[in-house]
Structure 1
Amino acid sequence: MLLVLLLGLLLLTLALRARSSQGSRGKLPPGPTPLPLLGNLLQLGSSKMDQRLMELSRRYGPVFTVHLGPRPAVVLSGSAALREALLLQGDAFSGRGAMPTFERFTRGNGIAFSNGPRWHTLRTFTMGALKDMGLGTRSIEERIQEEAAALCKELGQNRDAPFNPQQLLCNAVSNVICAVVFGQRYGYEDPDFKTLLDLLNDNFKLMSSQWGQMYNMFPSVMDWVPGPHQRIFHNFELLRAFIYDQIWKHQKSRKPREPRDFIDCFLDQIDKEKQDPWSHFYMDTLVMTTHNLFFGGTETTSTTLRYGLLILLKYPEVTKKAHEEIDRVVGRDRAPRLDDRENLPYTNAVLHEIQRLISVLPMGLPRATTQDTHFRGYFLPKGTHVIPLLVSAHRDSIQFKDPQCFDPTNFLDDKGAFRPNKAFMPFAPGKRMCLGASLARMEIFLFLTTILQRFKLCPMEKPEDIDLTPQCTGLGNVPPAYELRVLAR
């Protein structure tokens, strides 16, 4: 099917051939020679692109150029190049690159995929509003603890029977961001919310599939090609309808200047700036920003938790040591707190190693240069598409011993104390760092330590037979489906 699709792409796009000259692209880094229109598709494929880019970096170095279809993209590989670009030259690399699967829905609106003054304005406002809603404070920690307790209650109701944890983990994580954005949580048996979470999971999987990758390279052609990728946009519209319904309910029940949640804060700002024709605060922006927070605050963290449990099933000796440390430091009479983190060095190292190994967003979200930029002897014109290959930092053999293997000692010193590593960057460093990074760190720690405190995890096959290979890799690394049993400790 993909071969037919490739041939179709070549025939369809030959008529639209329009290549920019080398001079207009500046002195871009070297890379594999592209084919007309197809670019480096044959070298990159449409699956496991992160691995192919890692292979190319061994040949061309930490900064090189590939062509995604007709579009050149500069790849940053390795922790040194990533930190130099995204931190030391953070302003120049703070633009959002094109990602057609999202652009067709957002049209450059919302906080995640906007640029320029709109992005600066929305980011500043959103950070302030989330802080006002308790993000980064004791109140949000308590909210996560409550949800972790609710999750464990649901896990315990499985009565030792095998189950797939995906729905429960997704619901728990989503409830935390829903409390901040929508001002409410949803029951684990709520059929409408289950459907909504299915849409989020389906889109994350589709955008990480070969179909999603092909769409991002050839959007104008793939718009006309039938296939699973078309479901992405149908799902998006259903998500949009859900968000509109939430906003409508807020408009009917809100008290101006007495915000209960993020939506109320945004509606207050719309009222404040309604006379300004240049305002970035209007309904479509609210819908897209809410979607960005909802999607971003649900999918990557729940995926990390789901992958984390699978890794803990595969390495029972690691899980046993974490159990023992949690019992010794926290006990079983109270819920784990963030304050416990410094006294749980081994458990903390395990959670960091899970994130390093899975690299949930292996290629990050695309960046773009905001100005003409000189980087490592090359000239990158304003608007150059940039791929921050985050997985390359996590596979750095200088920073991590045997980086293909799971080893919590990557984050421990000789005395067993937790040791941070500058190559650890699951949320992408710099000005475009994920807004919910601090929330995600809290959730990963509190959810997993609470589960380990209360349950013994039992695999459905021999640990050595558990395969950690992603189900698909693209936007994210999607873990394989699995079942487990939990036993009360």
Structure 2
Amino acid sequence: MLEDIFHSPTSVLLLGVVVGLLVLRFFNFSFSAQERHEPPGPRPFPLLGNLLQVDLKRLDQSLFALSKKYGPVFQIFFGLKKVVVLAGYQTVKQALVNHAEEFGNREITPVFYDFNQEHGILFANGDSWREMRRFAVTTLRDFGMGKRMSEEKIIEECRCLIEEFEKFEGKPFDNTKAINYAASNIISALMFGKRFEYQDPVFQAMVERDNETIHLTGSASIQIYNLFPCLGPFLQVRSNLMKNVEDGKRDLRKIIADLKETLEPEICRGFVDAFLIRKQSLEEGEITSSYYHDGNLLYSVMNLFAAGTDTTATTLKWCLLFMARHTEVQDRVVEELNRVVGSRQVRIEDRKNLPYTDAVIHESQRLANIVPMAIPHTTSKDVTFQGYFIKEGTAIIPLLTSVLYDESEWENPDTFNPSHFLDEEGKFIRRDAFMPFSAGRRVCLGEGLARMELFLFFTSLLQHFRFTPPPGVSEDELDLSPVVGFTLSPLPQNLCAVSCQ
């Protein structure tokens, strides 16, 4: 069929016209960039842009290398799409915090649109996004996000996770699924007012499906699809991705329907109930709202469930892998826990008295760098930034790799070194360039909850277990190479959790 199309004289002429227009557009890009003093960058090829000059499998590393040549603000072309990259702590902070309005919109790529149709929280803009984010922040805080109420839920889940680890009796096992389920149960408690058993097949499918979706979203195939959406029907990866999304919607619709059927407005169980109650009250008051509809509910729950599971679980897995790789650090954490806390349950209030442990968690987050390019932004208006003109609607990548590995901010950026967060007296110090949750208008709304989860899960596990490589494997043989997806997760590998009690 394709041969017949390209053998048609009319089609060949049309193809030639299209290619000619694309080439002309490319040269217009070059001329306009010079006239308006746009950011520098590598010279693009017609049609392909700079695709041949970067590694789509580790795009953040390619962009980091380019920033050292072209500076903290540079542009690059993915095909015909122009993207401005912001590199280094000072530049990323200046853009996202000092110019939060101009750099605060979300880029809605084709795959992000496929996911959410611009509803929900993560992949939306405008008044709907503002209302949904405000509602989510307020509601989750009401349910104790980052407060004592959340602490109790997390401690309960710590006990369940410890019991799961104990089943392996110190033998090597892959902790991926158990940690994913534990992290997911925290956000589930806030979303639905309940936790799930780790053996629940629907729950397992939801969590594992979301993990696969996050991995596939960062694949080279999906990056190509974002540049050339017409290729979508021919990409198996996109078909698999969309099946995951549709299956996820089906399961969440069932949970939401069950909650709606048992809804009692005077007993609000979680985020879904709060949304339904708000929607009901607006309807009863005959107040028209274009925001509190089923689409925003479904996609907001999808966003929060996936993000609340993946980022925390992935970071905790890195923490344990770093402990098995750096046993001398693990020993110091355990010593501090024994000295300060003893055998009782660790509480959030203990954090201020555990500076070394806190530093280890922060350093694990920094080095793991699990969201290396943040979620891309766009400019909301024309802006001149650091002397360069950036047009409204331009895609922006805040390169978090360049922040967390900024040589001007970190003494040994490529090395696991908890001293990055300790002063000379061994007291914990905050570092401005510690930005794993991004910054500005799009900063992770669950940051407080994530920090609490990481601290309580990590310390509770270190109180009960010593983490080591499997027998016959040395510390240096543990593989710290990430699995590259939308986030960077550790390679699945076995560790031993040897009971300390």
TM range (shorter): over 0.9
Identity of paired residues, percent? 38
Counterpart of 1:350 in structure 2 is 360
- Is residue 462 of structure 2 the alignment partner of residue 439 of structure 1? no
Match of 1:462 in 2: 474
CA change 1:226–1:90 in 2 (3 A) is closer
From 94, 99, 106, give the equivalent of 2:109. 99
Give the conservation status (yes or no) of the 8 Å contact 1:257–1:268: no
Matching residue's letter, 2:111: T
Question: Displacement, 1:432?
Answer: 0.6
The residue aligned with 2:327 is: 316
The whole-number CA distance in structure 1 between the counterparts of 2:56 and 2:238 is 13
Name the CA shift for 1:273/1:370 in 2 (closer, same or farther; >3 Å): farther
Deviates more, 1:241-250 or 1:228-237: 228-237
How far the C-alpha of 1:293 sits from its partner, in A, is 0.5
Structure 2 Cα separation of the partners of residues 190 and 109 of structure 1: 29
Partner Cα separation in structure 2 for residue 279 and residue 256 of structure 1: 22
* Matched-pair contact (CA < 8 Å) for 2:108–2:124: no
TM-aligned CA deviation for residue 197 of structure 1:
1.3
Partner of 2:295: 284
Of residues 477, 481, 485 in structure 1, which corresponds to 2:488?
Answer: 477
Aligned to 1:260: 269
Structure 1 CA distance for aligned equivalents of residues 79 and 267 of structure 2: 50
Bigger drift between 177-186 and 117-126 goes to: 117-126
2:10 maps to none
Amino acid at match of 1:72: K
Measured in 2, the distance between the counterparts of 1:344 and 1:51 equals 34
Residue 210 of structure 1 and its aligned partner are, at CA, apart by: 2.2
CA RMSD of aligned residues (A): 1.9
Q: What letter is aligned with 1:273?
A: L
* Residue 253 of structure 2, aligned match among 226, 230, 244: 244
Alpha-carbon separation, structure 1, partners of 2:442 and 2:347: 29
How many angstroms does 1:28 deviate by? 2.6
Confirm or deny: 8 A CA contact 2:233 2:239 kept in the other structure.
no
Partner SS, residue 224 of structure 1: helix
> Structure 1: which 5+ residue stretches go unaligned?
1-10
Q: Which residue among 330, 338, 341 is the counterpart of 1:330?
A: 341
Give matches, 1:327-476, under 5 Å: 327-332=338-343, 334-460=344-470, 461-472=473-484, 474-476=485-487
TM-aligned CA deviation for residue 224 of structure 1: 2.4
The one-letter code matched in structure 2 to 1:458 is T
Q: Per-residue CA shift, 1:141-172, capped at 9, x if unaligned?
A: 11111111111111111122211000000000
Give the 3-state SS of the residue equivalent to 1:291 in structure 2. helix
CA distance in 2, matches of 1:406, 1:394: 12
Q: CA deviation at 1:77?
A: 0.2
Task: Please give the alpha-carbon distance, in whole angstroms, between the structure 1 residues aligned to 2:449 and 2:229.
Answer: 33
Letter in 2 for 1:197: V
What does residue 180 of structure 2 align with? 170
- Determine if the alignment matches structure 1 residue 83 to structure 2 residue 93: yes
Shift of 1:218: 2.6
> For residues 91 and 226 of structure 1, do their structure 2 counterparts lie closer, same or farther at Cα, with a shift above 3 Å needed?
closer
Q: Does 1:56 align with 2:41?
A: no
Q: Counterpart of 2:241?
A: 232
1:14 positional shift: 4.7
| Conserved? CA contact 1:93–1:369, under 8 Å | yes
- The Cα of 1:487 is off from its aligned counterpart by 1.3
**What displacement does 1:289 show?**
0.4
Deviation per CA, 1:190-217, whole angstroms, max 9, x where unpaired? Answer: 1221121110111122123222332333
Distance in 2 of aligned mates of 1:456 and 1:304: 18
- Between the aligned partners of 2:452 and 2:142, the Cα distance in structure 1 is 18
Deviation at 1:449, TM superposition (A): 0.6
Paired residue for 2:308?
297
Aligned CA distance change for structure 1 residues 115 and 88 (closer, same or farther; 3 Å):
same
| Farther off after superposition, 276-285 or 181-190 | 276-285
Give the partner amino acid of 1:226. L
Mapped to 2, the partners of 1:204 and 1:126 lie a distance apart of: 22
Q: In the alignment, residue 438 of structure 2 is paired with which amino acid? A: A
- Matched residue pairs, number? 476
Q: How big is the shift at 1:117?
A: 1.0
SS of the residue 1:65 aligns to: strand
Deviation at 1:229? 3.4
> 1:199 corresponds to which residue?
209
Cα offsets for 1:100-145 (capped at 9, x unmatched) = 3222120111011111111111111111111111112211011111
Call closer, same or farther: CA 1:17–1:246 in 2, change over 3 Å. Answer: farther
Equivalent residues of 2:183, 2:309 under 8 A apart = yes
Give the greater-gyration-radius structure (CA): 2
Alpha-carbon distance between aligned partners in 1 of 2:340 and 2:109, rounded to the nearest angstrom: 45
Question: In structure 2, what residue type is equivalent to 1:250?
Answer: L
Deviation at 1:15, TM superposition (A): 9.0
Return the structure number with greater helix share.
2
Per-residue deviation at 1:296? 0.7
Q: Residue 176 of structure 1 contacts residue 185 of structure 1 at CA under 8 Å; is this kept in 2?
A: yes
* 1:128 aligns to 2:138 (yes or no): yes
Q: Following TM superposition, by how much is the alpha carbon of 1:67 offset from its aligned partner in structure 2, in angstroms?
A: 1.3
